[in-house]
Amino acid sequence: MVKFGLRLDQNKSNEYPPDAYVDYDKLKEIIHVLAKKKLAGADVNFREVSLTAPPPTNAAGRQLTAADSPITEEDFYNCIDSNLSKVENFTLQKVTDLRSQIASLEKEVNGVSVDDEKAKDAIRDRTDEAAKAFLTLEKYVNINFMAFHKILKKHDKNLPAHACKQFYINRMHNQAWVRGDYSDVVVRLSSIYSALRNDHTAEENKDAAQSFLRSTTKYWVRTEDVSKVKYAVLKHLPVFLQKTSTGESDSQLTNSVYFDNDQLELYHGRLDKTPGAIAFRLRWYGAGDPKMVFFERKTHRDTWTGEASAKERFIVDESEVKAVLNDQYPIEQKRAEMKTKKGATDAECDDWEKLVREMIQVVQVKQLVPTMRTQYMRTAFQIPFDATVRISLDTNLCMISERGYDTEGGAKWFRDPDKPLSPNEITRFPHAVLEVKLELGGANSEPPQWVTDLQNSGMLYEVHKFSKFIHGCAVLMPEYVRSVPYWIDDASIRNSILNSGGGRILVPVDHQTGVGPGANEMYNHLLPFGNVKDPKLETKGRTANTISLIETSNKTTGANYYADDDDDNIEMMMGVQGCCEDTCAGWLFPFCSGYNTEVLAPTSVQKIEPKIFLANERTFLHWLHAGVTLYTIAAGILAFASESHSVGAHWYAMALLPISLGFCLYALHLFLWRAEKIKTRVPGRWDDSRGPLMLGSILAGVLFINFVMKCREIRRFNEIMSHEL
C-alpha cells in the first residue's frame, strides 16, 4: 500500500532558513517524553480541595517534585506559544518588506515612458520576483499551518487527558498570519502589470438590458492554489474592481437569491439541461443591505441547435424589488424615464420592456419564491467594459436556504441576515470556483494561449456545467429533489455535504441491506462521463501510484488528501533542506514538491452533439454494407463458377467469405466502442487507425493473389494456344 503523504526533495534548498519554521522535532520530543510518563489528568469529579492535605505521590509513595519531572505539560504549551509568535512575526515582517518593494515598483512604473521597452522589461522582471516571493511566503504559511495541526493532533492522541488541540487551533485561526487578508498585494501587482501592458479601457456599455452571449467553463480550485491562479491571471488581465469597492481588496461580496417554486421546477430543468430551462435570481454586490439589485435570467440552449445560452438582466432600486415581484412595477413610467434621462433609443426601450414583462410573467405564472441564496467573495479579472475575455474567481463560497421564513405576502425577498442559521440551512463549499467566460460572436471566441496554459497547469479541476444553484438546492433540500448532479460523489466535497445534513443524496440506503450503491449509480444518466465515476483515473497519464493514492484516500480519509501521522514528511518540511516547487503533482497533493510522480493536467470534457451519434450509426452502416457486398460477391462466385475453373474460383470465394464476416464483426465492434467513447466523453482520438489498415491489407492480399493466379492462367492459356497453332 502506498502511504499518503508529502515527500520533499532533500537536495533542494528552502527559501527561508530552517529556524523560521515550526520546531517540529522539539515539540515531538516533548510529547514522547510526556507520553512515557503516562501523566494522569485531573479528576474532574473532585470538587473540593484541602489546603492542609499533602501533594500527590507516585507509585513509591514519594511526593512528586520538579526534579522528578524536568519536562512538564507547561513546557509543551510554552513551546507552542513561542512557535506561534515566531511564525506570526516572520510572516508580518516578510509582508512589510514585500509591500515596500511593491511601493518602489509603483513609483518606477508611473515614471517610465510608454515606449521604453527595456525599462518596462526590467520592472516586469522585478514584479515577477515580488509575486513569486509572495507565493513563497504563502507556501511557508501553509506548511507551518499544517505542522501545527499535526503536532497538536499527535499531542492529543498520546496525551488524551491533556487535550488542547481545539484551544490552540482556535487561537491560531485568530492570529494575523492566518486570518490576515493580504489581497491588497494582488491589487497592486495587478495595477503594475496593467500599466506595463498599457491596457486600454473600453467604452462603457449603457444598454439598459445589459444582455450578452458568452460561453463559460467552470473549474474547482483548491484553497492553497488560489493565489497561484490569481497571479497566473493578473499577468494578462487586470483585477476589475466595482465602483463601490474601496480598492483595498481584490474581491467583493456577492449575493444571489435564486427563485423557484414548491416543485423545484427550475432546479430540475437546469439539472436536466432542458432546452429553454431558466434560472431566475436577484443579485447585489457589496456588504450590508442591497441598494441596487440586478434581476437576472439565464436561459439554457443546446449548442448543436446553433444557439447559445444567454444571460439577460436589468437593474432596479432595492425599494422597487417588491413592486416587480408583485406585478406592480410602473413599466411605462420607467420607459419614459429611460428615453428622457438616459437617451435610450426606441429599440433599446422595447428590448428592456420585453425583458421586464417576461420576468414578471414567469414569477407570476410559475409562482416563484425565494429558494436558495449563494454568497461568496468574487475576484473579477477583466478590462473594464470589455467582455471579450473575463475570468472570475469565487472564494468563501456558501449556500444558504431561503425557505422556511415568512415572506409576509411578498414583502420580503431574502431572510434576515441577523438571525442565526441552523447547520442544515447553510453549506460551505470547500473549493474556490473559477469561471472562464468568452464572449460569443466576437473575434476572440477561442481562448487565448495563456488561458489554455492555465487550464493545463494542474491547478484547475474542470467540473462540466457546475452550478452553485443546483449544488445548494441538492444539499440543503435533499427531500425535495428527484435527482442530483454528478459531482456530489466527489470525495473532496463529501464532508461539507455531511456537515449540512445532505448525506441522504450521497448514499441511498437500502432498508434491507443497510447500504446503497451511491448517488452516481442511481443517477448515472446525469453523469457527463457515463458510468465512469472518476474518468481521470483511467485516462492516459495517470500513474499507478496516483491511482493507489486515490483508492487509499477514499477508503481511509474521505476528503483528506494526506496522512494524519506522516511525521517524516513534516520533519522534512520543517528541518531538512527541502522546499516546495511551483508545480504540483495533480489535484491530490497540496504541497507535493519533489514527489516522484508525473505532473497531471486536468482532462477537458468533450462537447457532444446529436449528430455525433448519427455519424457513428452511419459509419456502422457503411462498414456493414462493405461486408455484405463482399459476401454477395463470394456467394455469386460459388454459385456460378464453371466446372473448369471450380477449384480456383472456390478457393477465391472461400477466402472472401471470412473477410466479409470480419468486416461485419468489425463494424459492430467499432460501433459499440465509439458509442461508449461518445457516452463517456473520454478525451483522445475516437477513431481506429489499425482496424481498417488490417482489413484493407488482408483484402488487398487476397485480391493480389487472385490477380497473380489469373495472370498465370492467361499465360498458360496463351502457351497452349500457341502450341496448337
Q: Which amino acid is at 686?
A: W
Dmax of the chain from CA atoms? 145
pLDDT on residue 160: 87
Contacts of 214 (CB under 8 A, 6+ apart): 308, 311, 387, 390, 437, 438, 439, 440
Report yes or no on 2 lying in a domain. yes
Residues 121 and 10 in one domain: yes
Whole-angstrom CA distances from 151 to 23, 42, 77, 143 are: 10, 23, 12, 12
Q: Are 549 and 686 in a shared domain?
A: no
Plot region of 644 (φ>0 → left; ψ -120 to 50 → alpha; else → beta): alpha
Mean pLDDT by 10 residues, the chain (725 residues): 33 68 91 74 66 67 53 88 93 92 90 83 91 91 92 91 89 87 86 83 48 75 91 88 60 91 91 89 88 92 73 90 90 88 87 92 91 92 77 93 73 80 91 85 66 87 91 92 87 89 72 49 46 41 35 37 47 43 33 35 50 85 92 86 66 88 91 81 71 89 87 82 75
Give yes or no: residues 385 and 490 share one domain: yes
HEC per residue, 86-127: HHHHHHHHHHHHHHHHHHHHHHHHHHCCCCCHHHHHHHHHHH
- Report the predicted TM-score, pTM, of the whole model to 2 decimal places: 0.67
How is residue 499 written as a grid cell? 456537515
**Sign of the CA dihedral running 448, 452, 455, 458:** negative
Structural domain harbouring 718: 610-724
* 390-404: b (≥16 Cβ within 10 Å) or e: bbbbbbebbbbbbbe
pLDDT at 206: 46
Residue with cell 482556535: 170
The answer to whether residues 397 and 339 belong to one domain is yes
Last residue of a domain, one of 544, 571, 601: 601
Q: Do 337 and 229 reside in the same domain of the chain? A: yes
Q: Distance between CA 394 and CA 216 in Å, rounded?
A: 14
CA–CA separation, 295 vs 293, rounded Å? Answer: 6
pLDDT at 73: 85
Kindly give the interhelix angle for 24-37 and 73-111, rounded to the nearest 10 degrees: 170
**Is 432 found in the same domain as 313?**
yes
Task: Assess contact for 312 and 299: CB atoms under 8 A.
Answer: yes
533 plus 640 within the same structural domain = no
* Residue 618 belongs to some domain of the structure: yes
For position 680, what pLDDT does the model report?
A: 65
- In a domain, residue 120? The reply is yes
Domain count, the chain: 3
Asked if residue 412 and residue 270 are part of one domain, the reply reads yes
Q: 427: domain CATH number?
A: 3.20.100.30
Q: Tell me what pLDDT residue 583 has.
A: 34
Same domain, 148 and 215: no
> Residue type at 477?
M
279 part of a folded domain: yes
One domain, residues 470 and 570: no
Distance CA 224, CA 459 (A): 10
Domain assignment of residue 60, yes or no: no
**Inside any domain, residue 51:** no
What is the CB neighbour count within 10 angstroms for residue 131? 24
Q: Provide the pLDDT for residue 8.
A: 36
What is d(CA 681, CA 486) in angstroms, rounded to the nearest whole number? 14
Asked whether residue 290 is assigned to any structural domain, the reply reads yes
Same domain, 567 and 625: no
Task: With respect to residue 45, please indicate whether it lies within any of the assigned structural domains.
Answer: no
What size, in residues, is the chain?
725
Pair (313, 454) in one structural domain: yes
Among 160, 18, 2, residue whose Cα is nearest residue 573: 18
